[in-house]
Each structure stands twice: as C-alpha cells, then as structure tokens.
Amino acid sequence: MSNSREEKQAPVQSLEDNSLIAGTQLANLLDPYFRRGETLTGLNLSCVLLGDKGASVLRRNTTWTSLTTLDLSWNTIGDQGASELGKNVAWDNLATLDLSCNEIGDEGAIGLGKNTSWTSLTTLNLSENKIGDKGASGLGKNTAWTNLTTLSLKRNKIGAEGASELGKNTAWTKLATLSLTCNEIGDKGAIGLGKNTAWTHLITLTLDSTKIGSEGACGLSKNTVWTSLTTLDLSGNEIDDEGAIALSKNAAWKNLATLELSRKPICEEGKNALKSKIAPVLFIIIVIIMFYIFHSFYNNLSN
C-alpha cells in the first residue's frame, strides 16, 4: 500500500529544479526527501552540516505540505540560512522546529520572527545559538505562531532588553514552557518578563543562571497573569531573602509547586516565607493522593 501511495504522489519537486544546489553531496542527501513530497511528515537532518546553502535549498520546498517535524540542529546554519527558512510559505502544518546548536544570530532570529505561515507551530528550539537582544525582540514581535507552547532560548546572548521585548509578546497566548537558561537578562530583564500580560497558560519558566538578583525576583513576583505556573527555576542566581519573601507573597501563582532558588544561602525568614507559599499546594496534593488510595481500597473490598 505504501509503495502505491508514493507512486501516486504529485507534484514531485527534485533538487534538480533548484538553482541553489550546494554540490552533489547535498543533492544526493536531500533528493529522496524532496521526491516524497506531500507524504513526508517528519524529517531529521541533525548533524549533516547543511549550512546556509542547505537551509536555503530546504526553504524553497513547496511540496512538504504535511511536514510536522523538522530537526535541523547541529548544522552550522547562520543568519542567512535562518532568514531563508523563515521565508518558507508551504509548511503550514509544521508543529516542531529544532534549530538548536547552530550559529544563528540576531539577523537570523529576526528573519524567523517574520514568518507568517507556520501557524501550526507548537515547539521552537533555538537553544545554543548566538541570538542577542535584537534577535529576541524580532522573535517577540511574531504574531503568527498563535499555537506556540514551547520556546527554548537557553544559552544564547540575550540580555535585559531582549528579555523585556519577549515579555511584550501578546500573540503566544498558549505558551506553556519558556527557557532562558544561561542568558544574562539580569534584574531589568526579569522585571520586563514579569510585566507580561498574555501568557496565561505558562506552566514552566526556566531562568536559571541568568544573573537575576532580588530586584529582579521582586519584579517577577508582581506578575498576576501566570496563574497556571507550576515550576519556576531561578537557581544559580543571586536572590537573597528580600527576593524570596517577595516571591512568596505572590497571590496569583496558586498552582506553583516547584520553586528553585539554590546557590545563594537564604536565611530562616526567607525559607519560612517560601514554605508558607508552597505548603498549601503540597497539602492539597497529599489529600488527593489519600483520596485515591482510599477509593481504590474501598473498591477492592467491594469486589
């Protein structure tokens, strides 16, 4: 059945039709995938050193209309290649795009942010690139990725301005996971993120090793819209008692179950304030577990 399906596929787009072929090796690598056309749903091209030319060839594809997953990690793709990918207009079912561990900087991120056709995108991995403030700002201005749930920007070069610009995004209303690990966003960046008003479904926020101090923690604590937040990682920063106490006073994060603040010692006052914040959530979890245990035990007796 699968062979007959591929025989009927149309139209077929071959690399021979593309003027940007980057040598025979690249043509041999990609041509079989191009020939699969609309039957292709997932493509893993990690660690094949596509470079900018290879990325440019890929973006010109118009037949992968069913493509949902594309892994282009570890491919030495830079700004030009990323910008070219952002110009793709055919992959309107693309849900997962992995561009981690490349050489994408500000211009490439801006080019990706201008994309308007990946309306099904749910997961975007841009970790371990060279994206700075301008690139983060360009991504944050995107209004088409309304189904985005996961965004990883860890280990880039994003500072306070870039984090603040990300926080201004109002289109990613389904965003559930955001990672900015190992970016030097500092207090001002944390304050800017805390002003976000659109990410009402945010569940996990990872800000470890981002040079945030107590001022930044206080800024985050003022957020009132992240009511679904369950995990907040602020480990590897310089948050002292003042910041810990401010975080504990947030009344909107009623679902917060995990708060990481390891590295700088916190005194008893800060610890007690945090315990009073998290303890009610733990109590509810314990009650639910006990209920299910009792319910199962009762059913076993009845049977």
* Spatial separation of the C-alpha atoms in residues 58 and 86, rounded to whole Å: 11
Residue 290 confidence class, pLDDT cut points 50, 70, 90: low
* Spatial separation of the C-alpha atoms in residues 272 and 220, rounded to whole Å: 20
Amino acid at 267: C
Query: Which residue segments constitute the domains of the chain, with CATH numbers given?
Result: 38-302 (3.80.10.10)
Residues 207-227 pLDDT 10s: 999 999 999 999 999 999 999
Residues 12-62 pLDDT 10s: 333 433 333 345 778 788 888 888 888 999 999 999 999 999 999 999 999
Question: Which of 148, 127, 146 has its CA nearest to residue 136?
Answer: 127
Residues 85-114 pLDDT 10s: 999 999 999 999 999 999 999 999 999 999
Residue 176 confidence class, pLDDT cut points 50, 70, 90: very high
> pTM for this structure?
0.81
Residue 70 has phi, psi (to 5 degrees) of -135, 120
Mean pLDDT of 256-261: 95
Instruction: Provide the pLDDT for residue 13.
Output: 38
Residues 189-208 pLDDT 10s: 999 999 999 999 999 999 99
Instruction: Provide the pLDDT for residue 248.
Output: 93
Question: Residue 177: beta bridge partners?
Answer: 150, 204
Residue 47 has phi, psi (to 5 degrees) of 65, 35
Mean pLDDT for the chain overall: 86
Residue 3 confidence class, pLDDT cut points 50, 70, 90: very low
Angle at 190 between CA 188 and CA 196, to 5 degrees: 110
11 has a pLDDT exceeding 60 = no
281 has a pLDDT exceeding 70 = no
Which DSSP symbol is given to 121? -
Burial of 154 (0-12, 13-18, 19+ CB in 10 A): buried
Amino acid at 112: L
Question: Which of 125, 145, 6 has its CA nearest to residue 69?
Answer: 125
* Spatial separation of the C-alpha atoms in residues 184 and 181, rounded to whole Å: 9
144-148, 235-239, 275-279: segment of lowest average pLDDT: 275-279
* Spatial separation of the C-alpha atoms in residues 63 and 10, rounded to whole Å: 8
Element (H, E) at 192: helix 186-194
